[in-house]
Amino acid sequence: MNTQNTSLTEYTVWDRSVRIFHWVNVVSILCLIAIGVAILNAKALGVSTDGKVLLKTWHVYFGYIFVINLAWRLVWAFIGSEFARWKNILPLGSDYKKQMGHFLAARKENRPAYFLGHNPLARIMVLFLFLLLTTQAVTGLVLAGTDVYMPPFGSAMAEWVSEDKTRADEIKPYSKVNVNEASYKEMRAFRKPFISTHETVFYVLLLAIILHVLGVVYAELKEGNGIVSAMFTGKKVFPEKPMDLD
Ligand code: HEM
């Protein structure tokens, strides 16, 4: 931790959109994880069929919040403020190489390296997290259709498995009424790679979240720029000009 008695200057880094995205993302993911764990263990927990449908339906409601929030963040990376943009998020470009060199040299000499945006290691983590979250969003939206016939693909899935296509809207989760057995099997085979990806990415994401939190704590102890409070206030503090500031 930087314990020197130096004067600190405050710089604005995260705009309001980034901060709102971050906390909506945290809360929606915690809810998705909690309900996801219950879905995974439904049998062991003795959850009834109606209970499973309810769990999946609520998982999908939180999923919609998560997807809309994520989609907005991906757009904001094109139009948002300086440090919300791709060029300051992705681990790419000549600036990035320079910053990584500076960062590694500082770590080697056990001195702090000051960055207003993400440090070079955090940028790799952010890219990894966005990839995992986007995969969960896409696979989740498909599963919302195949499992509980909810939008955006629920109607198409119901039509696929229905015996009488004109009554596809009567198809209910876990019910065999108006369901063609062969088409249902086809649909479940189509669903397989989506559910296995959704489940695998869930475990990888748990690990990535733990690494992300440990990284934040480590950076805060090493540099002491107030990076946790910065996700509330948008501001970090520095004893000298951060190297990624023009
Ligand atoms: C970070 C985001 C997410 C996490 C951590 C997560 C986690 C999980 C977990 C652990 C399961 C149980 C898997 C299994 O039963 O094998 C699950 C199932 C499911 N998820 Fe997600 N999920 C996320 C996002 C979404 C989204 C965005 C949607 C849709 C809008 C969604 C829709 C579903 C559905 C429909 C199921 C039930 C599949 C089934 O087991 O039959 N998920 N999710």
Q: What is the pLDDT of residue 55?
A: 98
- Under CATH, what is the fold of the domain 10-236? Fumarate Reductase Cytochrome B subunit (1.20.950)
**Cβ neighbours around 30 below 10 Å, total:** 12
State which ligand 1 atom lies nearest to the alpha carbon of 42: 15
Neighbours of 184 (CB within 10 A): 17
Q: Among 40, 59, 41, which residue's Cα sits nearest to residue 137?
A: 59
Cα–Cα distance for residue pair 210/208, rounded to 1 Å: 5
pLDDT at 246 exceeding the cut of 80: no
Reported as a single tens digit per residue, the pLDDT across 148-157 is 999 999 999 9
- Nearest residue (by CA) to ligand 1, atom 17, is 36
Strand partners, 11: 236
Q: Whose CA is nearest to atom 29 of ligand 1?
A: 140
* Tens of pLDDT, residues 228-243: 999 999 999 999 999 9
pLDDT surpassing 50 at residue 218: yes
Q: What is the pLDDT of residue 2?
A: 47
For residue 6, name the pLDDT band (cuts at 50, 70, 90): confident
- Out of 24, 139, 202, 204, mutate this one to test ligand 1's pocket (max ligand atoms within 8 Å of CB): namely 202
Q: How far is the CA of 39 from the centre of ligand 1 (A)?
A: 8
Distance from the alpha carbon of residue 40 to the mean position of ligand 1, in angstroms = 9
pLDDT in tens, 43-67: 999 999 999 999 999 999 999 999 9
Q: Is the pLDDT of residue 120 over 80?
A: yes
Q: Is 10 helix (H, G, I), strand (E, B) or coil?
A: strand
* Measured distance CA(205)–CA(192) in Å, rounded: 20
Angstrom CA distances, 23 to 20, 121, 160, 164, 243, stand at 5, 21, 38, 45, 27
Rounded average pLDDT over 130-156: 98
CA distance 246 to 244: 6
The DSSP code sequence of 219-231 is HHHHH---HHHHH
What is the pTM (predicted TM-score) of this model?
A: 0.94
CA-CA distance, 179 to 111, in Å (whole number)? 66
Average pLDDT over residues 190-217: 98
Whether 142 shows a pLDDT value over 60: the answer reads yes
Between CA 151 and CA 174 the distance in angstroms is 17
Average pLDDT, the chain: 96
Do 145 and 154 meet the contact criterion of CB atoms below 8 Å apart? Answer: yes
Q: Flag whether pLDDT at 4 surpasses 60.
A: no
Please provide residue 14's backbone torsions phi and psi, each rounded to the nearest 5 degrees: -95, 120
**Cis ω for the linkage preceding 151 (within 30 of 0):** no
C-alpha 59 to ligand 1 mean position (Å): 7
Residue 89: pLDDT band with limits 50, 70, 90: very high
- Ligand 1 pocket, Cβ-based, cut-off 6 angstroms: 29, 32-33, 36, 39-40, 56, 59-60, 63-64, 66-67, 133, 136-137, 140-141, 143-144, 147-148, 195, 198-199, 202, 205
Please report the atom of ligand 1 found closest to the CA of residue 33.
Answer: 5
